[in-house]
Amino acid sequence: MLQRKMLMSIASVLVLVALIAGATMAWFTDSETVAATFTAGTVDVGITDPLDLPIVNPGDKIKFGAEKDLGYYHNAGGDGIAPQGGYDRMLKIQYTGSKAAYVRVLVDATWTNQLPNTNLSMTDVAGDNWEYKGLINGKHVFQLNGILNGSVEKIGRYEIGAVENVPFILNIDGATTGNEYQGKGLLMNVEVQAVQAANVNPSAIPFETVTPAP
């Protein structure tokens, strides 16, 4: 009987020790969950359609970026000086993207009936913020000489209001525009492209990756 009581006492002590040991293994714990949303920036650019021209002449200049359209006009010359004919046209870009961006405008000018367009040339306007970059794949390229700020990202030097007017001059050479051009149409296609400025090498802007918006 004594031996049984001793065994029961030992068992009780072991159970108590086990309970104490188990209690020391109860860690303080807590948890919390948070959610975050990361939204990709946008590059969203548009362009106006310049008005059609009812008639053009050899030697005309078509000036884009003027504040108002004067229709067809001649800059009067003195005696013995031929008046310079031409048009004023507006060409404006819009930018509603959130990202700051590099921007360029591509201008393609061709004659109907597959007439040569070697009598056409384009130049930028001295002192303006758009630079003529020459021909790329047959299109005349004018590029903004800096970064255009977005609605959220401000890392550039321009706001859209300061550069939305895209000025350049289309020259129709008089000496090489012969009778075969009479009554023919001069077609212009204008495209604007934008590429995010962040994380882009300014000397190698990947404009060639730009695809038209759906």
- b/e 75-85 (16+ beta carbons within 10 angstroms → b): eeeeeeeeeeb
Residue 13: inside a domain: no
197 occurs within a structural domain: yes
**SS3 (DSSP) at 31:** coil
214 located within any domain = no
Number of domains in the chain: 1
Mean pLDDT of 80-94: 84
What's the pLDDT band for 153 if we cut at 50, 70, 90?
Answer: very high
Is residue 95 in a domain? yes
Whether 92 is covered by a domain: the verdict is yes
Terminal C-alpha separation, the chain: 94
Q: What is the pLDDT of residue 213?
A: 66
The one-letter amino acid at 70 = L
- Between 66 and 115, whose confidence is greater? 115
pLDDT in tens, 7-25: 455 555 444 445 445 556 7
Q: Under a CB-based contact definition with an 8 Å cutoff, are residues 116 and 177 in contact?
A: no
Rounded to an integer, the average pLDDT of 119-133 is: 93
Residue 163 lies in a domain: yes
Domain that holds residue 141: 45-209
What are 55-74's pLDDT values in tens digits?
A: 899 999 998 986 666 677 78
Residue at 145 is within a domain: yes
In a domain, 15, yes or no: no
What gap in Å lies between CA 183 and CA 146, rounded to an integer? 41
